[in-house]
Structure 1
Amino acid sequence: MNNTIQYKGYVGSIEFSEEDKIFYGKVLGIRSLISYEGENATELIDDFHQAVDDYLELCKKSGQTPETAFKGSFNVRISPELHKKVFVYAMAHQISMNRYIEETLAKSPAALEEV
């Protein structure tokens, strides 16, 4: 079971409130708060799509560039020892650390799963 939904490049969470008996969520990975809800899966998905469309329309009307969550850059904190090992390996193989890490992640079984 997947707890996210996707639309127009945006990924949204799926949560459930037992108390309110409602599904709800928000768009992940951006600073703007885009939330949605529904009493069932169909309503949740429809409201998610409408919320994204409304956000994009608001950005268009105000002349702003919509935020995107996946720019291809993120920070990773690792131990100094591992940092050194990655650096030495990359230099020995005449590649950048970024390229080495990208290639390593691409080979990961988790990275190859359908999202």
Structure 2
Amino acid sequence: MMTYKGYTANIEVDLEASILFGRVLDINDVVTFKAQTLEEARQEFQNSIDDYLEFCKELGQEPDRPFSGAGSRL
């Protein structure tokens, strides 16, 4: 797992496609990225978060924030 600006992502390996596939965890919005190396995955994760935050800003909406772990999740 990796973190950036309070967001956490999980990375999986797709052996058939020979890529790393990542998804941001603990938010309702879907933010994903893919890469071929670990370093590229880290950069793509950061780019995806920056793009997501900019997109929300352009829409005038608050970005989804990671669940805190306090309380229950449905």
Q: TM-score, normalised by structure 2?
A: 0.91
Higher strand share: 2
Which runs of 5 or more residues in structure 1 are unaligned? 77-115
Unmatched tracts of structure 2, length 5 or more:
none
**Matches of 1:29 and 1:73 in 2, distance apart?**
12
Q: Alignment identity in percent? A: 36
Which residue matches 1:25? 22
**Greater relative contact order (Cα 8 A, min sep 6): structure 1 or 2?**
2
What's the secondary structure of 1:47's corresponding residue? helix
Cα distance in 1 for partners of 2:6, 2:14 equals: 26
Letter in structure 2 aligned against 1:25: G
- Looking at structure 2, the residues matched to 72 and 37 of structure 1 have their Cα atoms a distance apart, in angstroms, of 27
Name which one, 1 or 2, has greater alpha-carbon Rg: 1
RMSD, aligned α-carbons: 1.4
| Partner residue in 2 for 1:47 | 44
Aligned residues: 73
Q: Secondary structure at the match of 1:43?
A: helix
